[in-house]
Amino acid sequence: MRVTPLTGRPGGDPVRPTESETVRISPLTEGASGDTFPAPDDHVADPTEKDEEPPAGKAEPTDEAAAAGRPTRKKRGAAGVIILVLLALLGFTLAVQLRGRSVDSDLAAMREDDLVRLQSDLQAQEDRLQREIASLQDSQRQLQSGAQGRAAALEEATRRADELAILAGTAPATGPGLTIRFVAGPQPIAASDILNAVQELRGADAEAMQIAGVDGTLVRIVASTYFVDVDGGIEVSGKRLTGPYTITVIGDPPTMRTALNIPDGLVPSIKADGGNVIVDERDTVDVTATAAPVDLEHAKPVS
């Protein structure tokens, strides 16, 4: 802002400016600290400032448009995925808890003598597995011992071949086990009953099994054996058998007996239908039936 100074005459009197030289001065206000600044009504425009206007034909987004935009949908989609994952975890947890309660209820329904026998059977099974581990570790040391390596390897291979022949059913076997006789009541013994017995015995570490009909026909039970109901009896891997049926099995007798007599298991179910299951423990039983080797068409050993 430009102000015309007062000039003096030679006599010392000041000379006031003319109207054309008078400049309007904006009123000043005084602040709390004594400083002066332009009044609030005065505004000095910055020549560099430009009013920004939105481009023609493009309206500014409203709150409703922003609320319906893509980020909100993405957030909702992520929240839905998290909810589904939490629901899946909750369902899995509930299923595990219900299964655990079912097992606990079965154990709670067993008598004290059955619980003691089950514990003893589990301990015997653990001891057997520990002995097998020790035997395998000893075989490994022998195979790695240089001079005796070839002889030990041949002996180990022969032993494993014999074991696999028994498991495959291509060789007879002998050892301690059970004879299980199924006597029908008002309801005949179904193929599903025999299959359940085989599954229970396998779960109790049965090593070799065979089934016989009333006429003495024998069938070796292996992994590929199937059971089908037919008129007057059952069909086992293509051979027809009539009852009563007898299963001969090699394994630990107490463990297998306990598996057959668990509450709501095979033996209680057949007895509830009026039938009977006679289980005899023997120090030595013979499984003489054999299964024909299977010719593999598709499966090949991995070398």
How far apart, in Å, are the Cα atoms of 194 and each of 1, 24, 244?
Answer: 114, 118, 11
Phi, psi of 88 (to 5 degrees): -65, -45
Query: pTM score > 0.75 for this model?
Result: no
Arithmetic mean of pLDDT, 113-126: 79
Determine the CATH number of domain 174-287: 3.30.70.1880
Quote the pLDDT of residue 241. 93
Q: Quickly tell me which residue has 């920004």 as its tokens.
A: 52
Q: Has residue 175 got a pLDDT over 90?
A: yes
Pairing between β-strand 28-30 and β-strand 227-230 as defined by DSSP bridges: unpaired
Q: Where are the alpha helices (DSSP H) in the chain?
A: 63-67, 70-109, 112-143, 149-168, 191-203, 253-260, 266-272
Q: Has residue 206 got a pLDDT over 70?
A: yes
How far apart, in Å, are the Cα atoms of 211 and each of 11, 59, 288?
Answer: 149, 87, 11
268: preceding bond cis by omega (within 30 degrees): no
pLDDT in tens, 44-101: 444 444 445 545 444 454 554 444 445 555 556 677 777 877 888 778 777 776 665 5
Averaged pLDDT score across all residues of the chain: 75
CA nearest neighbour of 244 among 270, 268, 208: 270
> In a 10 Å sphere around its CB, with 0-12 CB exposed, 13-18 middle and 19+ buried, how is residue 244 labelled?
middle
- Top-confidence residue, 58 or 136: 136
